[in-house]
Amino acid sequence: MMNELKPCPNCGSTDLEDLHSYVMCNRCLMCGPKIAGWDSCNSEFIDFGFARKFWNDLPRKAAVNA
């Protein structure tokens, strides 16, 4: 099951790329949080959903209604 990614906390873009151990915004190039020590040689032991969860848990500005 693929979780929906929240917009970039820096620029608000939804042009995001899931790079398995972290998420990157293609607009402002913010990326993270990278899961340290996880690489392709241990990929069979990795739950890649954690990168999406960590991205979605980053603090974001509150939406302002104009």
Give 34-45 pLDDT, tens digit per residue.
766 555 555 555
Above 70 in pLDDT, residue 26?
A: yes
Please report the pLDDT score of residue 62 as a whole number: 74
Going by pLDDT thresholds of 50, 70 and 90, the confidence category of residue 2 is very low
Contact 45, 59 (CB under 8 A): no
* Residues with Cβ within 8 Å of residue 3, at least 6 apart in sequence: 49, 52, 53, 56
Q: 15-25: per-residue pLDDT in tens?
A: 999 887 889 99
- Using the Cα atoms of residue 52, residue 34, residue 36 and residue 45 in order, give the sign of their dihedral: positive
Please report the pLDDT score of residue 44 as a whole number: 55
- Using the Cα atoms of residue 36, residue 37, residue 41 and residue 45 in order, give the sign of their dihedral: negative
Residue of higher predicted confidence among 35 and 30:
30
* CA neighbor of 32 nearest in space, from 10, 1, 3: 10
